[in-house]
Amino acid sequence: MSGTHHHAGEHPPHQPDIEEHPFSTYQVMAEAVGELLVEKQIISRDELRRTIETIESKSPAAGAKLVARAWTDAAFKARLLADVNAAAAELGIDAGPVPIRAVENTPSVHNVIVCTLCSCYPRMLIGLPPPWYKSRAYRSRCVREPRAVLSEFGTTVPDGVEVRVHDSTADLRYMVLPMRPKDTDGFDTDALARLVTRDVLIGVSVISDFS
């Protein structure tokens, strides 16, 4: 895909104009539900703490590992596109109980992920969502004017490329399977995985070709 792209580890030339303080309503609700589960003895406080710590310890590394394997193994890629959770389990990765769907970028389609309701997100594969993902501006504008939002991340999608916006829910989450950059035939899976960032897996950024 042509346009302004960034290698892993690089940052957009400026922060997108969608930053704002995230809503705290859902955090309050989550804490209330947690307290209720403990009160009803459905889960102990230690179990709740360990679960939260496990989620908070996640990073984009698991999702990057899936992408790198898909780039080098066509059969695995087909299984990933059919069932992310099952494909992740093949590599010893727990993707969590919520179904996750991989959406593939191609020369004619660019995918981007949003949750218009709150902040539904494949945390077990990508880690905690960034503050801008939870902001009202991103959640509304990504649907109405996705190209403008992407440009604020430094990602220019050509006019001939369709932009598809996928709305994550509590019952279905998404991750983007980016295109493999050119001239990476000699890269092993570890090197390929290092090219894949959180923003690439969300779809607000892409990986530059090496040619």
- Which residues does the annotation mark as catalytic? 115, 118-120
Exposure b/e, 46-70, CB count within 10 A at least 16 = b: eebeeeeeeeeebebebbbbbbbbb
Nearest to 130 by CA among 197, 66, 190, 80: 197
Dihedral sign of CA atoms 43, 49, 55, 57 in order: negative
- Give the separation between CA 50 and CA 19, rounded to whole angstroms: 30
Burial of residue 98, with CB atoms counted within 10 A of its CB: 0-12 exposed, 13-18 middle, 19 or more buried: middle
Task: Name the one residue in this structure whose structure tokens are 């922060």.
Answer: 15
Nearest to 129 by CA among 49, 208, 29, 27: 27
